[in-house]
Structure 1
């Protein structure tokens, strides 16, 4: 009885498999080395679908297509996972703000401050899920993240520098830069929060006009600083009442 030679198909398949490399694992396309990024994206999807309360480390692992224990080397707690999401969000916001200031009108600190506020709002409107995470201190451990603390301080310092420069040139009121910094952030944060939480329609502003309306509010704020910095027009001399003959 003759033995038929074994087909070379199986050996060819093995060679092809080696050339193709390892298969991707999980629905999120996880492969060795990018688990952290995949988990962050999975967490953002969970927040977008069900709010922050929908996030657990195990659910993020399931969404990423990895074993339940796989994420814990990177994120031992839910807070650490949410903090990582906030770090990514803060970095993107930081870059958007500084890019807007760099491209604003040269040598005009109030124009730069206006551009900074507009960039904050546009970023928040375009990235409501990122904004929801980064703006809620109950979800993250702010002080434990060096990058979040550093980039927030850099944005705050930029606001202060612009206000001080505007004061030096007589373009803005002689106000405490720390107060102006707080007022500026409160303004844009409040507008962003109103949009993300769905409050603007109750104030007569539909979503289609939310950016336009918010930028008009920023313009009003900046114009107020400018008017306060202008020297008051000299009032006409008051006439004294004529005395009797």
Structure 2
């Protein structure tokens, strides 16, 4: 059912998903799936839960591979992992980021998202403590970089990159370069330091 819902999204967008249509795709009676997914929201929440698990594994693997890097460089790796996953899994990213169609708070998605945010903040606080970041607070740095990465992923998924002169095959590299610019700007000392 989850795979059928993803296929429906890829073909016609989130609005094309229904429990009945997903059931038809997997060859079960229209009423059978309602025992597992009582609504479209429940089905899309299942898609989002699977997507969040994949995103989390992707980020954890990237951080494990960069375990010896400085906190700020690990933060950069986390950002790269997020971008690579979002650009490589646009349908899953779209479901996670369209909170109006999923039960984000009651499903465990909020907790999973907060674990990623907590790891981001931990890395940035460590970077501040080591004086890798000198120009802003860890909280402000996290919000700014998350907004940039999220916005770039959303632009890619929404097909906006070509209107900015960025071809699809160059979009991820461009996004990484812009994230680098923002993270490198965090290293600048405050005026008077």
**TM-score over 0.5 (shorter chain):** yes
TM-score tier by shorter-chain length is over 0.9
TM-score (norm 2): 0.95
Matched, 1:137 2:99: yes
Unaligned runs of 5+ in 2: none
Cα deviation for residue 168 of structure 1 reads 0.6
Q: 1:177 to 1:166 in 2, by over 3 A?
A: same
Structure showing greater relative contact order (alpha-carbon pairs closer than 8 Å, 6 or more residues apart): 2
Q: Output the CA distance in 2 between the equivalents of 1:112 and 1:121.
A: 14
Q: Output the CA distance in 1 between the equivalents of 2:192 and 2:91.
A: 44
Pairing 1:120-159 to 2, within 5 Å after superposition: 120-146=82-108, 148-159=109-120
Q: Residue 143 of structure 1 aligns to a residue in which SS?
A: coil
TM-score (norm 1): 0.75
Q: Which one has a bigger Cα radius of gyration?
A: 1
Q: Output the CA distance in 2 between the equivalents of 1:208 and 1:229.
A: 37
What is the aligned length?
Answer: 193
Q: Which residue of 1 aligns with 2:187?
A: 226
Cα deviation for residue 176 of structure 1 reads 2.8
Q: Which residue of 1 aligns with 2:156?
A: 195
Cα deviation for residue 228 of structure 1 reads 3.2
Q: Output the CA distance in 2 between the equivalents of 1:230 and 1:101.
A: 32
Cα deviation for residue 230 of structure 1 reads 10
Q: Output the CA distance in 1 between the equivalents of 2:73 and 2:168.
A: 26
Cα deviation for residue 231 of structure 1 reads 8.3
Matched, 1:212 2:178: no
Unaligned runs of 5+ in 1: 1-38, 233-245
Matched, 1:184 2:145: yes
Matched, 1:70 2:38: no
For 1:91-111, what per-residue CA distance to the aligned partner results, in whole angstroms no more than 9, with x for missing partners?
A: 111111121112126140111
Q: 1:149 to 1:161 in 2, by over 3 A?
A: same
Cα deviation for residue 227 of structure 1 reads 2.1
Q: 1:112 to 1:229 in 2, by over 3 A?
A: farther
